[in-house]
């Protein structure tokens, strides 16, 4: 049984730990600590009532209609045919990679960033061109330079694990300079001050992806969407599985984006917690990066992050320890509930004290 | 914006019509006309109660545990590490293609069969090697022959649109002769007299895929699984999206396979309807193939299938008209409820009479 050599050689993407017991404090995978809008449950109940025996609408039309309405208030061009829905934004990142990248091509992305970009390139048999961030979390000009065989670039914006963001004007400059499509992965954009939503209208090469996992508390439901010019969406749609979104996630995601009051309240709660957590971590001596996401990236000058991770884990608190070859390491802490963050801070105080 | 040339050249897979209004009689996409087990709804309700904010267990462990228990009664070797879960079996067919096939490689499958195999090969930039069935729906020896660059073979068994099946002993012969993995797509196997479940234990090259869409009435939920030797599953798992199955579909699918009484009742009802429909269609002069699936493939000697399809559609009855280049055409009719089948038969009588 011979899988492709690039697959055999891969280690495979290892997602953050997902203990199912529920007794630990989980600040490791940037989930929203609050429940989703109650309207989601009601919508799911209605789908169950109608029945699950029929295939879903293949293009998640209901979601696209409502999302286009909302997004067009920010960017008037956007209509439903600018939107492609996916089984989480990972599904969209996969679809995009398969549409543009052949074995031997090059995929560019920053270092450190979302490790899945490495995995997607490896599965495709492509070469990874990792461009290290500058010390101030800007990108060197090299990121937008031409290179033979370069077929796709990913930019998580806000970035993970740093939580930093490049302003839309800079992202547009990058997209314009690049000889290939640029995916602006906005998984965390709802926690940021600005977005790149208007960029696809200005440049055909920009594809913005978003997820319902974080700001809408729907990581368990798997729903994301991409925004690009219609002729781009049309090509990407050929690569998706026919029924990549199920009937329940379509209804749930549509109900979630529709409940603006719930979204706004959860968002501002998390932003307040992030601010407080950041200040408290600095108080404890951590070097933290200012965050535009629902997490904080930090290091303590006196304690290696791997040790901190282990000691917190032993105390029932999961954070994400990340080590990037040829770059460095640190811990990424999700902004949980205020109680969870208090437990974290108390524990850190006792570890460091 | 340059997608890969093979993507640009594709028409893209066109799934069967999915009218969302619900007023027509839908016998075109082999859905189960009956609702799923009520235990599915209860399980989904429990997930909603727990909340959707956390990522699902990445390997659908609960499902694999229960499925392994059930499958091992038929094939004792099977343990949870023989099972890979997917977002519908289409997700698994996609994963398998990406794991084994590079641009320029060859993918083999019968003609006529599931059209998605063509699409998956095209997306991957591979060559399609379509081997026509013999007149009696057996496969010529050519199907198991070696060929340079052959990296994967698909066999829908039971086949669609024919509803015919190759016996396991013949499938094992094919797998043994082939120089590459053989996917035995058992989407319809629950309506058949035998299955190839024991083959992966006998030959590392066999991967069996199954879906909850048809026999478990869960097309709207998107859940399928693959069965293969653990070292094969391990490689395939590297290619899947981290969270390809959502928390709701995992819980729903697990509840569905657990309710054996519901499954058995729905299955025998559909088999009885299929038998009656087949006899009545023959009575109306149709040439029908004996079916081991939840549909019947037929042609009428006096009426082109395209016309029949259009006239039925005008009367509010959807069947699947299929035309395969270099092969032929026909209509495929799903075994619906008895009332739906009566409406179909009445309509056909009036069209043909």
pLDDT digits (tens, 9 = 90+) for B118-172: 999 999 999 999 999 999 999 999 999 999 999 999 999 999 999 999 999 999 9
Judge whether residue B334 has pLDDT over 90: yes
A51: nearest CB among B35, B57, B246 = B35
* Angle CA B197–B201–B202, to nearest 5: 105
Burial class (CB in 10 A: 0-12, 13-18, 19+), A132: middle
A204 touches chain B (CB under 8 A): yes
Residue A9 falls inside a structural domain: no
Residues A90 and A156 in one domain: yes
Residues A69 and A173 in one domain: yes
Residue B58 is classified by DSSP as T
Residues A86 and A136 in one domain: yes
DSSP output for B242-296? TT-S-HHHHHHHHHHHH-HHHHHHHHHHHHHHHHHHHHHHHHTT-EE---SSSEE
B-chain CB neighbours of A217 within 8 Å are: 51-53
Judge whether residue B346 has pLDDT over 80: yes
Q: Is the peptide bond before B235 cis (omega within 30 degrees of 0)?
A: no
Q: Please provide residue B316's backbone torsions phi and psi, each rounded to the nearest 5 degrees.
A: 85, 15
Across the A:B interface, residue pairs with CB atoms under 8 Å apart total 235
Q: What is the CATH number of the domain that holds A52?
A: 3.40.640.10
Question: Are the C-beta atoms of residues A225 and A209 closer than 8 Å to each other?
Answer: yes
- The single residue listed with the structure tokens 């077929």 is A151
B1: nearest CB among A102, A204, A219 = A204
The Cα of A171 is separated from the nearest Cα of chain B by a number of Å equal to 17
User: What span, in angstroms and rounded, lies between the C-alpha atoms of A310 and A190?
Assistant: 31
Tell me which of A209, A230, A258 is where a domain ends: A258
Which positions of chain A have pLDDT values less than 50?
none
Residue A226 falls inside a structural domain: yes
B-chain CB neighbours of A238 within 8 Å are: 7, 10-13, 123
A53: nearest CB among B35, B45, B100 = B35
Compute how many other C-beta atoms are within 10 angstroms of the C-beta atom of residue A190. 22
Q: What letters, b where the CB count within 10 A reaches 16 and e where it falls short, cover A243-281? A: bbbbbbbbbbbbbbbbbeebbeebbebbbebbeebbebb
User: What span, in angstroms and rounded, lies between the C-alpha atoms of B286 and B290?
Assistant: 12
A261 SS3 class: helix
Residue of A nearest to B150 (CA): A2
The Cα of A239 is separated from the nearest Cα of chain B by a number of Å equal to 7
Cβ-defined contact of A4 to B116 (cutoff 8 Å): no
Residues B94 and B219 in one domain: yes
Residues B243 and B271 in one domain: no
Identify the pLDDT of residue B12: 79
Chain centre to alpha carbon of residue B264: 19
**Per-residue pLDDT tens over the stretch B52-69:** 999 999 999 999 999 999
Residue A276 falls inside a structural domain: yes
Give the residue from B342, B5, B21, B30 showing the smallest Cα distance to B185.
Answer: B30
B55: nearest CB among A2, A219, A236 = A219
Judge whether residue B20 has pLDDT over 70: no
B55 touches chain A (CB under 8 A): yes
Residue A229 falls inside a structural domain: yes
Residues B31 and B50 in one domain: no
Question: Are the C-beta atoms of residues B43 and B254 closer than 8 Å to each other?
Answer: yes
B36: nearest CB among A52, A181, A221 = A52
Residue A7 falls inside a structural domain: no
- Chain A segment 56-95 residues within 8 A of B by beta carbon are 56-58, 61, 87-88, 90-91, 94
Identify the pLDDT of residue A12: 79
User: What span, in angstroms and rounded, lies between the C-alpha atoms of B319 and B312?
Assistant: 8
Residues A189 and A275 in one domain: no
Identify the pLDDT of residue A293: 98
**Per-residue pLDDT tens over the stretch A77-121:** 999 999 999 999 999 999 999 999 999 999 999 999 999 999 999
Cβ-defined contact of B1 to A244 (cutoff 8 Å): no
Residue A8 falls inside a structural domain: no
Cβ-defined contact of A237 to B41 (cutoff 8 Å): no
How far is CA B152 from each of CA B12, B147, B155, B324, rounded to the nearest angstrom? 21, 11, 10, 21
Cβ-defined contact of A220 to B244 (cutoff 8 Å): no
Q: Terminus-to-terminus CA distance in chain A, angstroms?
A: 55
A53 touches chain B (CB under 8 A): yes
The Cα of A294 is separated from the nearest Cα of chain B by a number of Å equal to 14
- Residue A318's beta-bridge partner residues? A26
Helical H runs in chain A? 5-9, 38-50, 61-72, 89-100, 116-123, 168-177, 199-202, 230-239, 247-258, 260-283, 305-314, 338-352
Q: Terminus-to-terminus CA distance in chain B, angstroms?
A: 55
**Per-residue pLDDT tens over the stretch B195-250:** 999 999 999 999 999 999 999 999 999 999 999 999 999 999 999 999 999 999 99
User: What span, in angstroms and rounded, lies between the C-alpha atoms of A249 and A89?
Assistant: 13
Residues B227 and B267 in one domain: no
Residue A11 falls inside a structural domain: no
Residue A5 falls inside a structural domain: no
Residues A90 and A167 in one domain: yes
A220: nearest CB among B16, B55, B241 = B55
Q: Which domain holds residue A227?
A: 38-258
- Residue B240 structure tokens: 């899947």
Tell me which of A199, A229, A258 is where a domain ends: A258
Identify the pLDDT of residue A22: 67
Q: What is the CATH number of the domain that holds A318?
A: 3.90.1150.10
Identify the pLDDT of residue A7: 94
A-chain CB neighbours of B218 within 8 Å are: 52-53
Tell me which of B259, B288, B317 is where a domain ends: B259
How far is CA B93 from each of CA A4, A246, B8, B209, rounded to the nearest angstrom? 16, 17, 22, 8
Cβ-defined contact of A54 to B18 (cutoff 8 Å): yes
B306 touches chain A (CB under 8 A): no
Cβ-defined contact of B220 to A47 (cutoff 8 Å): yes
Residue of B nearest to A176 (CA): B1
Identify the pLDDT of residue A15: 78
The Cα of B301 is separated from the nearest Cα of chain A by a number of Å equal to 32
- Residue A12 structure tokens: 């495979």
Give the residue from A85, A191, A162 showing the smallest Cα distance to A327.
Answer: A162
The residues, any chain, with a CB within 8 Å of residue A45's CB and separated by 6 or more, are B45, B48
- Chain B segment 210-249 residues within 8 A of A by beta carbon are 213, 217-222, 229, 231-232, 235-239, 241-249
The residues, any chain, with a CB within 8 Å of residue B286's CB and separated by 6 or more, are B298, B299, B300
Identify the pLDDT of residue A216: 98
Residues A342 and A315 in one domain: yes
Residue A138 is classified by DSSP as -
Give the residue from B111, B116, B216, B90 showing the smallest Cα distance to B162.
Answer: B111
Residue of A nearest to B19 (CA): A57
Residues A201 and A345 in one domain: no
H/E stretch holding A154: strand A150-156
Residue of B nearest to A215 (CA): B53
B45 touches chain A (CB under 8 A): yes
Residues B112 and B252 in one domain: yes
* Angle CA A154–A155–A160, to nearest 5: 120
The structural domain count of chain B equals 2
């Amino acid at each position: 049984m011979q899988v492709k050599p690039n697959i055999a050689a891969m280690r495979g993407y290892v997602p953050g730990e997902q203990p199912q017991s529920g007794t630990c404090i989980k600040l490791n995978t940037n989930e929203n600590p609050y429940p989703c809008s109650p309207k989601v449950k009601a919508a799911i109940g209605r789908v169950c009532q109608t029945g699950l025996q029929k295939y879903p609408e293949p293009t998640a039309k209901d979601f696209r209609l409502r999302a286009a309405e909302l997004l067009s208030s920010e960017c008037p061009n956007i209509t439903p045919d600018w939107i492609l829905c996916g089984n989480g934004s990972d599904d969209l990142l996969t679809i995009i990679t398969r549409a543009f990248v052949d074995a031997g091509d090059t995929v560019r992305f920053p270092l450190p960033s979302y490790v899945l970009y490495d995995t997607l390139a490896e599965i495709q048999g492509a070469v990874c061109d990792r461009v290290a961030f500058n010390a101030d979390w800007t990108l060197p000009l090299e990121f937008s330079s031409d290179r033979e065989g370069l077929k796709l670039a990913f930019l998580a914006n806000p970035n993970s694990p740093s939580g930093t963001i490049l302003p839309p004007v800079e992202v547009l400059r990058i997209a314009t300079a690049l000889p290939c499509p640029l995916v602006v992965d906005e998984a965390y954009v709802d926690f940021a001050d600005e977005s790149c939503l208007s960029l696809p209208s200005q440049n055909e090469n920009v594809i913005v992806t978003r997820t319902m996992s974080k700001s809408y508390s729907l990581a368990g439901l798997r729903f994301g969407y991409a925004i690009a010019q219609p002729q781009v969406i049309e090509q990407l749609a050929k690569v998706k599985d026919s029924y990549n979104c199920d009937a329940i996630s379509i209804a749930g995601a549509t109900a979630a984006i529709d409940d603006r009051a719930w979204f706004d309240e959860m968002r501002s709660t998390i932003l307040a917690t992030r601010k407080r957590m950041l200040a408290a971590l600095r108080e404890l001596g951590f070097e933290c990066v200012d965050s535009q996401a629902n997490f904080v990236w930090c290091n303590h000058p006196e304690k290696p992050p791997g040790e901190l991770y282990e000691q917190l884990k032993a105390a029932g608190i999961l954070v994400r320890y990340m080590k990037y070859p040829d770059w460095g390491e640190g811990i990424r802490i999700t902004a949980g509930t205020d109680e969870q963050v208090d437990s974290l801070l108390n524990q850190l105080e006792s570890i460091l004290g």
